[in-house]
Amino acid sequence: FASGCRVGARGPLRLRLPSWRAGAEERRSPACRSLAAAAAMPRLSENMLFGMGNPLLDICAVVDKDFLDKYGLKPNDQILAEQKHKELFEELVKKFKVEYHAGGSTQNSVKVAQWMIQSPYKVATFFGCIGTDKFGDILKKKAEEAHVDAHYYEQSEEPTGTCAACITGDNRSLVANLAAANCYKKEKHLDLEKNWKLVEKAKVYYIAGFFLTVSPEAILKVATQASANNKIFSLNLSAPFISQFYKEPMMKVMPYVDILFGNETEAATFAREQGFETEDIREIARKAQALPKVNLKRQRIVVFTQGKDNTIMATETEVRSFPVLISDQSEIVDTNGAGDAFVGGFLSQLVYDRPLTECIRAGHYAASVIIKRSGCTFPEKPDFH
């Protein structure tokens, strides 16, 4: 990812040092080496990480199987709300104890990345559309509290989007009513000079696949800009229905994707839709890595999480697996947001140009924190070293 890096046979990206420098490195004490590493670390500045997506207010509740059955929900799924789900949101609030959290997949990830980074504030930028209402005000306040530089496109035709997170045991069924989030207009927001300048300031970009249902043209504009300037553009498969019903816009963006994220269910659906003819997750990752790409200066990286099972990473030369941090089952409160948190942790190290193994380690750490709390929330400071 940095110039002069390669993927080592047994390790992450390794810097090729001249032999005399390598010898000098080995002779230095660990304390000197860590000081040197800190000094060599790139300094972060505002707006280096850019995210764009659907800002939603999450309405979270532990529900029963009857509730899922009534609305035809699978225990572990993400869907867009249809007419039959109209009453679901009201019933959820009336019947169960609910908690409200600022959500939306991309917004969650950039919030977690900013939390992991801590300082400076506003390394993370976020674009999305909200309504001019109470829920919109809550989202603005929550973004500010998280020190994310959120620039919302605000309109009054549709209310701020919501997402019902229906939790049963370790599973969560998400039903998103995009509302205002669906109203994002590239020409009225992204194309404005002051906003586009923020896009150009970034060096790492992340967009969840969910946004393909809203503004594929906005995604393409960001992706092509990143590719042309040899910056890092990352995308998430996000949900099985994206690979199924938004295949065409997704595959238009895919040649610009430097890092592709997803979970095992999304990967399996993607493989079926792409005719990969395999159910082996390592093989799916390898085939996704090899899909056509525009910017050949950066070879694509594919990262698939599998809940409590190993995370899989495919690079140009190898497919590796990484064990997750095992949590005591009794400590798990809510797996909603674990995938978003993983991406946030990953991105928090990527902006520093750290090795991919460190990015994955940070992703696992962030996810392990988030699953012990309700919603995609976190303590004041991370304990990641």
Burial class (CB in 10 A: 0-12, 13-18, 19+), 376: buried
The tens digit of pLDDT for each residue in 198-251 reads 999 999 999 999 999 999 999 999 999 999 999 999 999 999 999 999 999 999
Marked catalytic residue, from 58, 149, 340, 383? 340
Confidence label for 363 from pLDDT (cuts 50, 70 and 90): very high
The tens digit of pLDDT for each residue in 165-200 reads 999 987 889 999 999 999 999 999 999 999 999 999
Q: Which two tokens stand for residue 212?
A: 């393909």
| Distance between CA atoms of residues 49 and 349, nearest Å | 11
Closest to 56 measured CA to CA, from 134, 153, 131, 160: 160
Is 18 a residue whose pLDDT tops 70?
no
Give the single-character DSSP code of 188. Answer: I
Q: Which two tokens stand for residue 51?
A: 């995210």
Beta strands across the sheet bearing 161-168:
77-80, 171-177, 161-168, 56-62, 99-103
**Phi, psi angles (nearest 5°) of residue 136:** -65, -40
Q: Is 280 a catalytic residue?
A: no
- Partner residues linked to 162 by β-bridges: 57, 177
pTM of the model: 0.84
The tens digit of pLDDT for each residue in 49-99 reads 999 999 999 898 999 999 999 999 999 888 999 999 989 998 998 999 998
Confidence label for 1 from pLDDT (cuts 50, 70 and 90): very low
